[in-house]
Chains A and B, each alone.
Chain A
Amino acid sequence: MSLTRPFLLALLGVALAQAGTPGKSVIRRGAYLVSISGCHDCHTPLKMGPKGPEPDMTRMLSGHPEALKMPPAPKLPEGPWGWVGSLSMTAFTGPWGVTYTANLTPDKETGLGSWTEAQFLQMVRTGRHLGQGRRILPPMPIQNLQLVSEPDLKAIFAYLQSIPAIHNRVPAPIEPAATPIPMH
């Protein structure tokens, strides 16, 4: 009995800890999923290095840099070329308008710092901005994320909440010109 009681209390402590903050293994799982899912491709800006473009890990997952003011989107030909992207791989323009990749770091004002896990899951399930707004825009492959299991989505969220917060206010998307651009 004298040994069982501390053991039980220790287990309950572990359980309570698990119920609150995610464990290291969950965060590691999230890091793995983020790395193999291509999140960095667009959410971590590229910079020019000695061997060409490379992810700027000092801005890891912070989205389109606020300081990188993009000029007006180029007028696109009628096709079949349909969209262009910035050299940073964080800004895109196409028939849907201009989109900038989001800040996924836990900064409370400009990133996911004020989000709850439930809101993150809602965003994925609905495919809507902030979980209840407009559709999430190209080129974000939200349809891929919607196939991820709930435990894995929670792991992704846990990882994103664990990385360094970067204050970076990403611009809002811009509507395309009023003249419809032919899709075919």
Chain B
Amino acid sequence: MRALLLAALAAFGLVPGAARTLPRTLPQPPRLLSQTGLYAASGVVDARHLAYAPQYPLWTDGAAKSRWLHLPAGTVIDGRDEEGWVLPVGTKAWKEFRFGGRKVETRLIWKTGPATWVFASYAWNEAQTDATLVPEGGQPEAAEIAPGLRHSIPSREDCRGCHGREQVEILGFNALQLSPDRDPGALHAEALQPGMITLDDLVVRRLLRGARPDLLSHPPRIAAEAPATRTALGYLQANCAACHRADRPIPGLQLDLRPRAALRTALDQPGSYRIPGQADSRILSPGHPERSALLHRMASRHALSQMPPLGSVLVDQAAVDHLRRWIADSPFLPSH
């Protein structure tokens, strides 16, 4: 009975020190990028990793990027939820960022258990031979990317802020981003290089389990009548919807910028942010770019108003131009 009592108490943390007796051997990120398994030999990426390029890339001040995913041998992706694939334990994803042809940082997301993930960022050395783990708080102003502007490596908390805490997602690796029905107007889209994985490859190689049977005959595509709307919604999906989504609500905000919900939750909504000097400020005001807070915040790099709030010090002018035209023309309104 005593043992039962102690076990019951321990289960609820009522025995002093009980929690401290539990094993706490959570995997830690290696000190060097070269120790993470990315390379088969010095500077040579392991050919077994899956290189990919999302159709709607995230804007990071014009950085050139390379991405790889490692699936442990014999494992597959659970593709039942098309918007939130469940990756097997042991999955690793790397993203390399280059400015001016030089590698600046490589980020790692590593699924170490059913609900545990390691986030790590590695800063490249001057000789470009390896990269070193940066502290948990990130590395501010790690490299100059334009006169007077420097790229900061985000903190691990910031990584979790975008990728999730419990249900972590590799944001550029899902059915829409890998769809063969690529948006020809996608902003900053990278051409698929030989050997890059696509949705078709994942299905053919039986790496995706549980996906709908017609996934390849009807691959994911943002539903929009006008090409400009498809492109705008794709951009918002990649650059805004990691945070602004109804299934991960932000207290007090109802904004959901995923393609299916963006227009419904943003059009003519007052939002909490007011454009300075603008009496009638809306999140997205059809026909009125000057009243659209979404556009104002995209075009701002003031600490108080910029969106996204981290990861960028340069305005994505091509995106601002596209969204300004799109809002002015409003091809999503019934009259069109």
Chains A and B belong together in one complex: yes
Residue in B165, B252, B304 whose beta carbon sits within 8 Å of that of A175 in the complex: B304
Residue in A19, A114, A133, A174 whose beta carbon sits within 8 Å of that of B12 in the complex: A19
- Asked if B252 contacts A96 (CB within 8 A), the reply is no
Task: State the total of A-B contacts with C-beta under 8 angstroms.
Answer: 83
- Assess A137 versus B304: contact at CB under 8 Å? Given A18-B12, A125-B157: yes
In the complex, A131 has a CB within 8 A of chain B: yes
Kindly list chain A residues whose C-beta atoms are within 8 Å of the C-beta of B158.
Answer: 126, 128
Interface string of B3-14 (1 = CB under 8 A from A): 011001101111
Kindly list chain B residues whose C-beta atoms are within 8 Å of the C-beta of A183.
Answer: none
B67 to chain A, nearest CB (A): 23
- The secondary structure that dominates the B interface is loop
Kindly list chain B residues whose C-beta atoms are within 8 Å of the C-beta of A66.
Answer: none
- Asked if B272 contacts A172 (CB within 8 A), the reply is yes
A residues 120-165 near B (Cβ < 8 Å) are: 122, 125-126, 128-135, 137
- Assess A114 versus B309: contact at CB under 8 Å? Given A126-B157, A174-B276: no
Chain B, residue nearest A127 (CB): B157
Kindly list chain A residues whose C-beta atoms are within 8 Å of the C-beta of B274.
Answer: 172
- Asked if B157 contacts A134 (CB within 8 A), the reply is no
Kindly list chain A residues whose C-beta atoms are within 8 Å of the C-beta of B165.
Answer: 118, 122
B290 to chain A, nearest CB (A): 16
Kindly list chain B residues whose C-beta atoms are within 8 Å of the C-beta of A19.
Answer: 12
Bound form: Cα–Cα A16–B14 in Å: 11
Kindly list chain B residues whose C-beta atoms are within 8 Å of the C-beta of A175.
Answer: 276, 300, 302, 304-305
- Asked if B157 contacts A130 (CB within 8 A), the reply is no
Kindly list chain B residues whose C-beta atoms are within 8 Å of the C-beta of A14.
Answer: 14
Kindly list chain B residues whose C-beta atoms are within 8 Å of the C-beta of A129.
Answer: 309
B249 to chain A, nearest CB (A): 8
- Asked if A130 contacts B161 (CB within 8 A), the reply is no
**Contact stretch, chosen from A4-12, A36-44, A47-55:** A4-12
Kindly list chain A residues whose C-beta atoms are within 8 Å of the C-beta of B161.
Answer: 122, 126, 128, 131-132
B residues 135-163 near A (Cβ < 8 Å) are: 155, 157-158, 161-162
In the complex, B208 has a CB within 8 A of chain A: no
A55 to chain B, nearest CB (A): 25
- Asked if B14 contacts A126 (CB within 8 A), the reply is no
In the complex, B253 has a CB within 8 A of chain A: yes
In the complex, B303 has a CB within 8 A of chain A: yes
A residues 75-105 near B (Cβ < 8 Å) are: 96-97
- Asked if B304 contacts A97 (CB within 8 A), the reply is yes
Interface string of A1-45 (1 = CB under 8 A from B): 100100010011011101100000000000000000000000000
- Assess A109 versus B304: contact at CB under 8 Å? Given A11-B9, A132-B243: no
- Asked if B309 contacts A132 (CB within 8 A), the reply is yes
Residue in B251, B273, B276 whose beta carbon sits within 8 Å of that of A130 in the complex: B251
Kindly list chain B residues whose C-beta atoms are within 8 Å of the C-beta of A4.
Answer: 1, 5
- Asked if A115 contacts B302 (CB within 8 A), the reply is no
- Asked if A8 contacts B157 (CB within 8 A), the reply is no
B residues 292-325 near A (Cβ < 8 Å) are: 300, 302-306, 309-310
A181 to chain B, nearest CB (A): 13
Bound form: Cα–Cα A122–B159 in Å: 12
- Asked if A134 contacts B306 (CB within 8 A), the reply is yes
- Asked if B250 contacts A132 (CB within 8 A), the reply is yes
Bound form: Cα–Cα A14–B252 in Å: 33
- Asked if A8 contacts B8 (CB within 8 A), the reply is yes
A109 to chain B, nearest CB (A): 7
B42 to chain A, nearest CB (A): 36
Closest 6 CB pairs of A and B: A15-B12, A132-B161, A126-B157, A114-B251, A115-B251, A134-B309
A172-B272, A172-B274 provided; 5 other pairs, C-beta below 8 A?
A4-B1, A14-B14, A96-B304, A126-B161, A174-B276
What are 16 inter-chain pairs, A to B, with CB distance below 8 A? A1-B1, A8-B5, A11-B5, A11-B9, A15-B12, A114-B251, A126-B157, A126-B158, A132-B250, A132-B309, A134-B306, A135-B309, A173-B304, A175-B300, A175-B302, A175-B304
Chain B interfacial positions (CB closer than 8 Å to A): 1, 4-5, 8-9, 11-14, 155, 157-158, 161-162, 165, 243, 250-253, 272-274, 276, 300, 302-306, 309-310
